[in-house]
Amino acid sequence: HPPQAPRISVVGTGYLGATHAAAMAEMGFEVIGVDNDPAKAQALSEGRVPFFEPGLPELIRKHVKSGRLRFTTDIAEATAFSDVHFICVGTPQQRGSNAANLSYVEEATMQVVRNLTHDGLIVGKSTVPVGTGMRLRSIVAENVPAGIDAELIWNPEFLREGKAVDDTLTPDRIVVGGTSARSEALMREVYAKPIATGTPVIVCDLPTAELVKVSANAFLATKISFINAIAEVCEAAGADVTVLADALGHDVRIGRQFLNAGLGFGGGCLPKDIRALIYRSSELGATKAASLLQQVDEINMSQRQRVIDMAIEACGGSVLNRRIGVLGAAFKPLTDDVRDSPALNVAAALHLRGAQVVIYDPEANETAQRMFPTLTYAESVEEAATGADALLVLTEWKEFSAAKPEEIRSLVARPVVIDARNCLDAAAWRAAGWWFTGLGASPAP
Ligand code: UGA
């Protein structure tokens, strides 16, 4: 008889966990997702995903129906059922500090270990500061029931929101850290499908696996702040950062991706991950990494201030009682996520300065409204633009670049547009009579 396929539990069903659970089911395994929020577990059980992620609801419904995927709030049910336990809970930034809050990861690990009824492999997937896995291993050792064998390894996840399903089914690489021969074999079995199609596997020690993940995000963040720093030079020198990025991108050592200058990075990962790395590097005495990434964070945050200042200037020195149409609330397109969203940050700051801000986002109006209920939300580009003294494009949704500058012009009070994502066709907007400014190019002729 062939040995039975490992059964899988996924603890935490946010972006990461829900996607990972569905992907594991798609790869042929029986999967149980665990969340301590009953509403979330219930919604997922009914095939409803409580956030916008293209393709995910379909995949979850497919496997809830196939019987390979179910969700529960009962950790004991999950541990009794499965052999491999993925930890996918959040590691948010701590209040008033750069450090990551590890209480959810510690609690989830503890819960899994205490409830083990047979030998199990605990696989950390959450993004954690280097050194966390080692600490969790002592939690495992102290809490594992007598006679049961529990191992803890790290297998970071690199999925992007908006592309989470594809990224999980066909990852660029699989990193597993701290494995024994047995757990490595088990991981190769779990990821047999992507491995069969050529996905490289990097087997390393625990700290390296943890650090690969945070360095990947730190590098992406650095790329963005680099191009934003060069954008400043472009503006001062009369050069065009978009053309420059295209030219740089042809060098395969550099690459064109993540060289879009603009409002900078936000979301639930990049900002908090570089801050956690700044904090952890300082703790470890690695001062060069800390000071480099400090600059990356500062440059990034200054982009938001820059756009706020540009809006104020465009309104003649004050936005008080000015109507400002804001296109975009999500931290990037193809998501309804507004965590640390540069767009919402700018909108809220202008509102605080007395502007009448009207926001439209194709997917994130609702999540934005929950965070900033006092702002005004519109149902379309046209509604946000109507009567505006200035129009700000803060997230580069396709719907915004497809908007017709002539038509929008007839709706606004003043044809002033700030393209903070360099996503509009500047020449077309200028030709339609707009006073147009982007970031990182010489001002309107
Ligand atoms: C990021 C990483 O890209 C993933 O690989 C990683 O797995 C994930 O964090 C995570 O740690 O979970 P995500 O936060 O979904 O993914 O978003 P990105 O696509 O990386 O975009 C981040 C921010 O950078 C967005 O605000 C985006 O607008 C901004 N950005 C991106 C730029 O300002 N310029 C660019 O050229 C590219």
Note the CATH number of domain 303-437. Answer: 3.40.50.720
Q: Does residue 161's CB lie within 6 angstroms of at least one atom of ligand 1?
A: yes
Asked if the model's pLDDT at residue 221 lies above 60, the reply is yes
Out of 163, 256, 260, 270, mutate this one to test ligand 1's pocket (max ligand atoms within 8 Å of CB): namely: 270
In one letter, which amino acid is 223? K
pLDDT band at 328 (very low <50, low <70, confident <90, very high): very high
Are 369 and 377 contacting, i.e. CB atoms less than 8 angstroms apart? yes
Please give the number of the atom of ligand 1 that sits closest to the Cα of 127.
11
Mean pLDDT of 80-100: 95
Asked if the model's pLDDT at residue 72 lies above 90, the reply is yes
Q: Whose CA is nearest to atom 18 of ligand 1?
A: 160
How far apart are the C-alpha atoms of 54 and 163, rounded to whole Å? 7
Centroid of ligand 1 to alpha carbon of 160 (angstroms): 7
What does the DSSP assignment read for 427-445?
HHHHHTT-EEE-SSSPPP-
How far apart are the C-alpha atoms of 375 and 344, rounded to whole Å? 10
Are 160 and 167 contacting, i.e. CB atoms less than 8 angstroms apart? yes
Told to judge if 269 belongs to the known catalytic residues of this protein, a careful annotator would answer yes
Would you tell me which CATH number, out of the four given (3.30.565.10, 1.10.10.10, 3.30.70.260, 3.40.50.720), belongs to the domain 8-204? 3.40.50.720
Dump pLDDT digits (tens) for 129-173: 999 999 999 999 999 999 999 999 999 999 999 999 999 999 999
Please give the number of the atom of ligand 1 that sits closest to the Cα of 16.
12
Tell me, what's the pLDDT at 436? Answer: 96
Centroid of ligand 1 to alpha carbon of 206 (angstroms): 24
Evaluate whether ipTM surpasses 0.85: yes
Would you tell me which CATH number, out of the four given (3.40.50.10300, 3.30.70.870, 1.10.10.10, 1.10.1040.10), belongs to the domain 214-270+279-292? 1.10.1040.10
Q: Does residue 112's CB lie within 6 angstroms of at least one atom of ligand 1?
A: no
Taking the complete model, does pTM exceed 0.90, yes or no? yes
Centroid of ligand 1 to alpha carbon of 213 (angstroms): 13
Out of 127, 220, 272, 303, mutate this one to test ligand 1's pocket (max ligand atoms within 8 Å of CB): namely: 220
| DSSP state at residue 100 | B
Centroid of ligand 1 to alpha carbon of 264 (angstroms): 10
Q: Whose CA is nearest to atom 6 of ligand 1?
A: 158
Mean pLDDT of 440-444: 74
Q: Whose CA is nearest to atom 23 of ligand 1?
A: 265
How far apart are the C-alpha atoms of 270 and 113, rounded to whole Å? 30
Q: Which residue ranges does the chain devote to CATH 3.40.50.720?
A: 8-204, 303-437
Please give the number of the atom of ligand 1 that sits closest to the Cα of 159.
7
Tell me, what's the pLDDT at 102? Answer: 97
Q: Does residue 307's CB lie within 6 angstroms of at least one atom of ligand 1?
A: no
The verdict on whether residue 161 carries a ligand-binding annotation is yes
Mean pLDDT of 243-247: 97
Instruction: Give the residue carrying structure tokens 């943890």.
Output: 210
Asked if the model's pLDDT at residue 79 lies above 70, the reply is yes
The verdict on whether residue 35 carries a ligand-binding annotation is yes
In one letter, which amino acid is 44? L
Backbone angles phi, psi at 339, to 5 degrees: -60, 130
Mean pLDDT of 60-84: 97
Centroid of ligand 1 to alpha carbon of 159 (angstroms): 10
Indicate the SS3 state at residue 377: strand
Q: Does residue 344's CB lie within 6 angstroms of at least one atom of ligand 1?
A: no
Q: Does residue 90's CB lie within 6 angstroms of at least one atom of ligand 1?
A: no
Centroid of ligand 1 to alpha carbon of 271 (angstroms): 9
Q: Does residue 343's CB lie within 6 angstroms of at least one atom of ligand 1?
A: no
Mean pLDDT of 42-62: 96
Q: Does residue 53's CB lie within 6 angstroms of at least one atom of ligand 1?
A: no
Backbone angles phi, psi at 259, to 5 degrees: -115, 30
Catalytic, out of 88, 204, 234, 269: 269
Mean pLDDT of 406-416: 98
Backbone angle region of 433, left / alpha / beta, with phi > 0 → left and psi within -120 to 50 → alpha: left
Indicate the SS3 state at residue 260: coil
Q: Which residues pair with 174 in a beta bridge?
A: 201
* Averaged pLDDT score across all residues of the chain: 97
Q: Does residue 335's CB lie within 6 angstroms of at least one atom of ligand 1?
A: no
Q: Which residue ranges does the chain devote to CATH 1.10.1040.10?
A: 214-270+279-292
pLDDT band at 2 (very low <50, low <70, confident <90, very high): low
Asked if the model's pLDDT at residue 41 lies above 90, the reply is yes
Tell me, what's the pLDDT at 442? Answer: 72
Please give the number of the atom of ligand 1 that sits closest to the Cα of 266.
26
Which of residues 444 and 266 earns the better pLDDT score? 266
Asked if the model's pLDDT at residue 443 lies above 80, the reply is no
Q: Whose CA is nearest to atom 22 of ligand 1?
A: 265
pLDDT band at 445 (very low <50, low <70, confident <90, very high): low
Tell me, what's the pLDDT at 383? Answer: 98
How far apart are the C-alpha atoms of 390 and 408, rounded to whole Å? 12
Q: Does residue 270's CB lie within 6 angstroms of at least one atom of ligand 1?
A: yes
How far apart are the C-alpha atoms of 393 and 265, rounded to whole Å? 15
**Residues in contact with 297: Cβ distance below 8 Å, sequence separation at least 6, in sequence order:** 221, 225, 271, 274, 275, 278
Q: Whose CA is nearest to atom 2 of ligand 1?
A: 160
Mean pLDDT of 29-47: 97
Centroid of ligand 1 to alpha carbon of 344 (angstroms): 16
C-alpha 384: how far from chain center: 26
Distances (CA, A) of 51 to 9, 180, 235, 376: 21, 37, 38, 21
Asked if the model's pLDDT at residue 444 lies above 70, the reply is no
Percent of the chain predicted with pLDDT > 70: 99
pLDDT band at 441 (very low <50, low <70, confident <90, very high): confident
Q: Does residue 88's CB lie within 6 angstroms of at least one atom of ligand 1?
A: no
How far apart are the C-alpha atoms of 376 and 372, rounded to whole Å? 9
Tell me, what's the pLDDT at 85? Answer: 98
Strands 120-124 and 150-154: parallel
Mean pLDDT of 115-121: 97
Q: Considering only CA atoms, which of 434, 315, 323 is closest in space to residue 387?
A: 323
